[in-house]
Structure 1
């Protein structure tokens, strides 16, 4: 196995991952835009059901992120059956999570929907949406597993191409079924979910076809990497479960923070709501750069690369991460300056609050990008539990309690928003000390 120790290698892997993540966010925006023609109640029903469905698909993505590291390690080790073991275990775990999640949704989602819906129609529409969305969950269990396998092998373009194919399918099928065009029944909100399901199935079929075609029809070496199916699956689950727990913790901590934000002044809450999607979308640039770095580090570790090679690669990866952070900071600057044109109907107080966030937004990408490099490198070395602890304790021992305290004290919204930056500074020392100690280099793969 050979790998370039340069930022060019990371860039070739990172840009498709970044665009894929943006397409994923864009799909949610498109679905909301298509349903918006049905009125506010339809949007409310979709938002209510999508919150539950999004948790399930997010869990699949979290487990898949762990799987792609194990695939990358197998590429480096070249052990017989290692790639097949990682693919089969990742697929099995994702399907298991999907089935368990759907069973849990069948038992508990009805009560959650009824408690959150303000009318019987919204509750009924949300249930129909979630029922159709169950097909998305099952299809994404397959598609995310195959995407993780291809990412781990270094082929990040193919999962990106699958979204280029799936997004137009989603739009066309959703429009036809939402509004009942060409003689089809008008299914309102459920039509959007069926459109998403059809596009997810198309994406999964495309990836299955490409995987078969890329191997020329030849089967993988079907021997278990750790001698038996049970031992291999247990190792895979032990590695990926902390990544999934990290996602669950982040989701719940963000939800709690959002509920606390709702108790602030309307202009302050509106400003936080408006800036949050931009932070999420722009943040994918640094996150995908770090994920690509982690994949290549896993390949190098699996191949037994020398310490000097790893150090040289990480130095160049960090330089690229700082360039990406600078680009994101410039993007935030443009958003704040153009906020008056983007959001022409917002109040002057809200616009002024958005501008007050600018100093934080200019600094935030740098520690966040550096922490992401550390986290993904440590995961590549097998330290998924340590990374999980850093995220969990920084969220639940610092950011969430600090958010509650500042809002209760009536602190300016600037300081509440600044907690995003302070949280990254809290994580900075434990991440970087662990990385520089270098124990992750010697962990058995």
Structure 2
């Protein structure tokens, strides 16, 4: 179940990387415009992904209970919340994005191009409000390959259409930066259409299923929202915390900041494997809880998931080792000081996957049992009581090396480690009441 989730996540990152590559011949200003618009659109999509992750767990619980009414309830409650969040996000983006972009853009041309890109990309956000809910439905039912297949369709379409519209190839008009946004719109609409056809073919959109899990749709929707909002709040908090840390990193030397900028995407992409395994664990655990599985069965599955997480962490750690050893060859045009900073990250990179993977297994298991508020509190504490204050202290007051600053990535995981594992070992999650 985990490998399609991992490949799907990598393909999502790949779309961003490919768009940036296709736009790069237009120059640094074009990339700056795309990056500026992407910061706003990325926040909107991230909130959708967070709510959809909650819907995925609810669908998995319903799938475990083997009832069409809970499945229908979970899907339509998730879709309603996604559309409401998207509507609010679109209103705010239309009202305030112009001011935000103008205040950060270095030139008028960058501001205009970023705004044009964002105006088109908002249609992607609208399409993904539906697409992510459909993805959550299939993932929650254990059919993770279907959502992965949708990206197999979307990615090549995105590349071809974007290339044509950016540079005026294949008989298409030359639109420049905004052409990348149109390419993503076409690919996203096609992906959603593919998922809609599969959804209707398999479920008939639940038109023949009568009633809701909690008697009325309003009651069901409220319970779904109560379950979901801590997951969305966790994402928003982490996004803001990450941006604050990036602003603090920018106050370091150019070489140190460049090293952190280079290593961060590697941490994000390789971390996908552990996170996807944890996400699959959460889906299966929610299915088991929904089916009323015995505590012994839950414990057996969790032990196996932990062993798999340990193996995945080892493989990621070895990949980091290869990256560190090859960094001088991969980035041979960088200054020696920057390459040395990259190599100094190796001890942290070798250790990081193990506590991070174990924490992720705990977090997804607790979320599957409905303990979303406690998980949110751990993440917020790790971000705002530990990582951000210590980043400020290390950079602004102690003037420590970049190696110590990067070490906060793993120290944050050790900070969260006892809170996650204590909660899990208490065992209350195994006796979670029905939440649908």
Q: How does 1:201-350 map to 2 (within 5 A)?
A: 201-215=189-203, 219=207, 221-350=209-338
Post-superposition offset of 1:185: 2.3
Q: What SS class does the counterpart of residue 342 from structure 2 fall into?
A: helix
Residue 420 (structure 2) pairs with residue 434 (structure 1): no
Residue matched to 2:181 = 193
**In structure 2, distance between residues paired with 1:189 and 1:32:** 10
Structure 1 portions without partners, runs of 5+: 1-12
**In structure 2, distance between residues paired with 1:227 and 1:355:** 59
Whether the 8 Å CA contact 1:46–1:129 is kept in 2: the answer is yes
Residue 368 (structure 2) pairs with residue 380 (structure 1): yes
**In structure 1, distance between residues paired with 2:190 and 2:333:** 39
Count of paired positions: 433
**In structure 1, distance between residues paired with 2:26 and 2:208:** 49
How far does the alpha carbon of each residue in 1:116-172 deviate from its partner, in whole angstroms, 9 at most, with x for none?
A: 111111000001000000110001111100000100000000000000100011011
Q: Which runs of 4+ in 1 moved over 3 A?
A: 215-220
Whether the 8 Å CA contact 1:84–1:222 is kept in 2: the answer is no
**In structure 2, distance between residues paired with 1:298 and 1:251:** 26
Whether the 8 Å CA contact 2:282–2:367 is kept in 1: the answer is yes
Q: How does 1:352-371 map to 2 (within 5 A)?
A: 352-371=340-359
Residue 10 (structure 2) pairs with residue 22 (structure 1): yes
**In structure 1, distance between residues paired with 2:148 and 2:38:** 23
Structure 2 portions without partners, runs of 5+: none
Instruction: Tell me whether 286-295 or 217-226 shows the greater mean CA deviation.
Output: 217-226
Residue 382 (structure 2) pairs with residue 414 (structure 1): no
Residue 88 (structure 2) pairs with residue 109 (structure 1): no
Instruction: Name the CA shift for 1:67/1:218 in 2 (closer, same or farther; >3 Å).
Output: closer
TM normalised by structure 1 equals 0.96
Q: What SS class does the counterpart of residue 37 from structure 1 fall into?
A: helix
How far does the alpha carbon of each residue in 1:263-293 deviate from its partner, in whole angstroms, 9 at most, with x for none?
A: 0111111111100000000000000000000
TM normalised by structure 2 equals 0.98
Whether the 8 Å CA contact 2:72–2:206 is kept in 1: the answer is no
Post-superposition offset of 1:72: 0.4
Q: What SS class does the counterpart of residue 338 from structure 1 fall into?
A: helix
**In structure 1, distance between residues paired with 2:205 and 2:249:** 54
Residue matched to 2:432 = 443
**In structure 2, distance between residues paired with 1:343 and 1:220:** 59
RMSD: 1.1
